[in-house]
A and B are shown apart, each in its own frame.
Chain A
C-alpha cells in the first residue's frame, strides 16, 4: 500500500494505481478527455495535469503517472487551471463547434469542459478543420473535424474489441483517425468506438438526428439476443426507441455492447409484427378477438386431451422467454394439460450441455463470471466461436490477452477472429473436439502437470478417467483430429501452466459432437488442472439465447422440474404437487426430438409453440414440416408470422422484450431484470399473460402473470433462486448461488455427490466425407445475427443482408468457383441454392453456412440424428 496526499487529503492505495485513480478514491475529480477505465493509460490530451511537490517545475499527467510513497499532489492550483484552459483553447482552434447539429451535443465531454472552464473566446486563430465526412460506412458515421485525438476509439477497437479497424494517420495537426487508405469501415460494427468517443467525431448513424441527449427517457434493461446478458439502456423518444447504449453499471458488460445489442433492437418496431390474434377459419388465418382466440385454443387442447389423453399434447418454448414465463409455461403443461412433454429449443438442436455439466459438477456449479475473465491467464476456447456468438465475452478474452498477456488456445475448424490472438490454434476436423480434450488431459497427466492437491481433495473417479484416456496418445489424436502431436502438447502445457484457466464452450454452434459429452470432457480437463472453485477459472458454458440458462433452470425440460430437480424423484414431485395443488405425472416427458417423431407417427396431436419456430431453426426442415403438418392442433405464440406460425390453428401475438417485465438468467448465472420501455404494440400481450389466460380458459388457475408474484413462487421452490426478490434486483443483477463465487457449491435439493465427478467420455468419429459428398457442412451463427430474430432489424441487414456459403480458397479453385457465384449445396436430405463467399477462414474439406436466414432454408440439408452432415457442391452460374 502506498500513502500519498491529494489536495491535503491522505489517500491510501495499492502500488501501481495512477494519481487519477487515487484521487478518485477520495472523491476528487480530475477532468479527463483521453482516459477510460477499460483501456490502458494513454496520456494524449493533457487535461488531467496535476502538480506534484516532488516533481516541481512541470505539470504531470495524472492518468498515466503511477503513485509513489509520500507524493504530495495538487489538482486545482491557478497554474493547473491555466494550463487546462490553454489545452482547451488549442483544441478549439480547428474544432467546428457545430454543437446545434452535433449528435453528441448535451453529452459531449469537450462541451462540458469548455463550459466548466468558462472558455468564451480563443486567443489562437486558424482555419477550421475541413476533412471530408464519411457518410458511406454503415451504422457509424465519422466526422473527424470534431476529433480531439484522444485515441480512445483506436484503443477500444484494438484492446477490447480486437478488430483493429481504426488508427491514427499523419502527424502533428494533420493527424486524423481513419482506416487504411481512408476506405469506409468494414468491421464488426459493434459501435464501441462511437460509444467511447468523447466528442461527436464518431456517431451512431441509426440515431442520427433523431433526438437530443436530454430529450430521451432511458430505461435500463437487458439485451434480447445472446446469453452474455449485457445490460443495455434503451433511450426512448415519442414512444420509439431512438438508440440503445451499454449500461455502464451493467454486470457482465460494463457498458460494452456488440452490433446486435447496439443496433439490433429495430425488430421491436418492425411493421411486420403481428398486431391481433389470428384464428384459422375455413383454412385461412384471420384476425380475431382475444376472447375468441383463447376459447378456440382451449377447446382444441381440451378435445385432444379428452380423446387422446394428455400424453398427446406437447409444448416447445423459446429460450428467449423470461424466467417467469418459462416457469408458467411448464406449469401450464404439467398441471392444466397434465403432460411432461415440454422442451426448449436449447434442448433440441443442441442436446444441451447442461445435463453433462450437471452430472460432472452438480446442479449449480461455480461459473467464472464474465467480468473475472479479464483476470484469467489461460483460455481454451473450444467448439465456441465466442467472438461471434457472444461478442462481449470475446471482448473480455481479447482484453485479457492484449492487456494482461493471458495465454489463449483456440480449437476451431475455421480460422476465427480469436485465432489471430491465439498462442496455439488447433485447426481440427469438425466434430472431433472430444478427442482433443481427452488428448490434452492425457498429455497433462502424462507430464505430471495436473493439480494433484485439487484432484485428491475435491474430485472422484481419477483412476477410471486415467484408464479411459489410455488410448488418447498424441498419435491417436493426430489421426482422429488432424492436429499435430507437437501442437497438442504445446497447448496442453500452456493451458496447464495457467493459474486461472477457463474453458469456454458454447451452444448454438450448430455442428459438431455431442454437447453433453463435450461438457463432461471439458469439466474433466478443468478439474485435472485444478481450475475450479476460484474466481476467473472453470468451465464457462455459453447458452445460445438470452435466457438459455434460465429456461433450463425453470424446468422447461421433459424430465426435470424447476431447479433441475428430477420429476421421477417422489419427494421432489410431492413438494411441487403440494405447492401447485395438482397431481403430476411421474413419467418423464418427451424431448423436442421425440415430440417431433411422435408427431410424425401420430402420437402427438397438439403442440403449443411459444416463441419457437422449429420449421426454420430445427435440423432437417422437411421432416419438421411433415411432423408439424401431422399435428391436428397447433398453437403458436410469436412476434412475427413465422413459417411455423403460418401452419398454426391459432396464433397469439406477443410483446417484445422492450414491452414487458421479467427476469433473464445469463451464462454466468446472473439474474437480471427486464424493464418496460414501450407500451405493448397493437393488441399484443406478454407471453406470461397469454399463458395464464390459456390456463384460465382451460379452467385451471396457475396464478397471476405478474413477474414479482411468479418470482416469489419460484424462490420458494427452486433452491438456487431462494434469495431472489424481484423488486430488489439491482441494475447489475444478482449472482445466483455458486456463480462467480468461491467454492463449488452443490445444489441443495438433490442428493448429489459432494465431489465433482470425473466421468470418462469416449470419442465417436463423426460421419466422414464420402466420394459422393466430399465436404463437411458446418452450420452456425454469425457475429451480426442471433437466431432468426435479428434479420428483422434494418440496421443489421445493411451490414449483413443475406445467407451465403463460405468456401476455402483451395476448394474454390478446385471447383472453379469465384466470390459471388451461385452454387447448389446438396446433402442426402435435400438441396439449396446459395451465393458463395470465398474466404481464408475456411479449411479445405469443409464449408460453412450461417443459419439465421429463412431463405435459403439451410435446415433442408441437416439431419437431426447426426451431429453434422456431408454435402456436395455444384456450380450453378458462370
Chain B
C-alpha cells in the first residue's frame, strides 16, 4: 500500500532536480528554431527599388486556408507588381506553402509568433505591414527564417 505512494513521489522528487521545461513567459522568451514558421514577410529588392513579389498569385492559389489576396497591376515601368497583397493571419495555418510556391523567393516566414491582437481586423496584414521586418520577441537578435534555402537544407 505504501509502496505505490513512494513510487509516485519518487517521480515528483526526481523532477525537483531537473531543469524546468516551462518558461516564465513573458519575462523570458523562447527562441524560435531555424525552421520556425511565423508570420510572413515580403522581401524588398534593393537593387530594383521595389518589392520582389511579381503578383503571380501562386501563393494565393496554393494557400490551403485561402487567406492570401493578391491583385496585380502595372507599374510605371510596365512591370507587374502587387497593388494589393493581403494575408489574413486569422486564417493562416502557417503551413509555409506560400514560401514554397513563390517562384521568385519574394516571401519568407519569420520568427514572429506573437500575433495576438484585440481585434480580428488587426490581424489582416497589408502589403505595407508585410514588407516591414517584424519586431521579434525578446532574446533573438534576428530569428532564423523559413525560406527556400532553410527548407532545402532540412530535407
Contact = CB atoms under 8 A, between A and B. Distances in A.
A628 B44 CA distance: 62
A241 to B, nearest CB: 15
B117 interface: no
A215 B72 contact: no
A511 B16 CA distance: 103
A101 interface: yes
The contact size tier of chain B is 10 to 19
Given A101-B56, A209-B73, A209-B74, A215 B61 contact: yes
Nearest to A143: B78
A714 B105 CA distance: 60
Interface in A189-223: 208-212, 214-215
B80 A212 contact: no
Contacts of B58: 100
Interface string A237-263: 010000000000000000000000000
Interface in B70-89: 71-74, 78-80
Given A100-B54, A100-B56, A209 B103 contact: no
A476 interface: no
A169 interface: no
Interface in B131-146: none
Chain A binding surface, main DSSP class: loop
Interface string A97-121: 0011100010000000000000000
A214 B62 CA distance: 12
B10 to A, nearest CB: 60
B104 interface: yes
A238 B80 CA distance: 19
B74 A212 contact: no
B57 interface: yes
Contacts of B54: 100-101
Nearest to B55: A209
Contacts of A101: 54-56, 79-80
A719 B80 CA distance: 55
The contact size tier of chain A is 10 to 19
B50 to A, nearest CB: 13
B104 A100 contact: yes
A104 to B, nearest CB: 13
A215 B78 contact: no
A210 B72 CA distance: 6
Interface in A806-822: none
Contacts of B103: 99-100
Nearest to A238: B71
Interface in B17-60: 54-58
Contacts of A135: 78
Contact of A214 (B61, B73, B74, B78): B61
Given A133-B78, A135-B78, A215 B57 contact: yes
Nearest to B81: A209
Nearest to A101: B80
A119 to B, nearest CB: 17
A367 B74 CA distance: 47
Given A100-B103, A100-B104, A212 B56 contact: yes
A214 B57 CA distance: 10
Nearest to A215: B57
Contacts of B73: 209
A211 B82 CA distance: 11
Contacts of A210: 72
Nearest to A135: B78
Question: Which of A133, A209, A211 gathers the greatest number of chain B CB atoms within 10 Å?
Answer: A209
A105 B54 CA distance: 13
B80 A209 contact: yes
A43 B54 CA distance: 36
A99 B54 CA distance: 11
A108 to B, nearest CB: 13
A820 B47 CA distance: 47
Interface string B81-104: 000000000000000000000011
Contacts of A105: 56
A157 to B, nearest CB: 24
Contacts of A215: 57, 61
Given A101-B56, A133-B78, A135-B78, A209 B72 contact: yes
A208 B74 contact: yes
Nearest to B60: A215
A133 B104 CA distance: 22
Nearest to A212: B57
A247 B76 CA distance: 33
Interface in A780-808: none
Nearest to B69: A238
Contacts of B57: 212, 215
Contacts of A238: 71
Interface string A120-137: 000000000000010100
Contacts of B61: 212, 214-215
A99 B79 CA distance: 13
Contacts of B55: 101, 209
B69 to A, nearest CB: 9
A211 B80 CA distance: 11
Contacts of A212: 56-57, 61
A210 B71 CA distance: 7
A240 to B, nearest CB: 10
A215 B56 CA distance: 11
Nearest to B83: A209
A120 to B, nearest CB: 15
Contacts of B104: 100
A101 B104 CA distance: 11
Interface of B: 54-58, 61, 71-74, 78-80, 103-104
The 5 closest A-B pairs by CB, nearest first: A100-B56, A209-B72, A101-B80, A209-B80, A212-B57
27 contacts: A99-B103, A100-B54, A100-B56, A100-B58, A100-B103, A100-B104, A101-B55, A101-B56, A101-B79, A101-B80, A105-B56, A133-B78, A135-B78, A209-B55, A209-B72, A209-B73, A209-B74, A209-B80, A210-B72, A211-B72, A212-B56, A212-B57, A212-B61, A214-B61, A215-B57, A215-B61, A238-B71
Given A100-B103, A208-B74, 17 more contacts: A99-B56, A99-B103, A100-B54, A100-B58, A100-B104, A101-B54, A101-B79, A101-B80, A135-B78, A209-B55, A209-B72, A209-B80, A212-B57, A214-B61, A215-B57, A215-B61, A238-B71
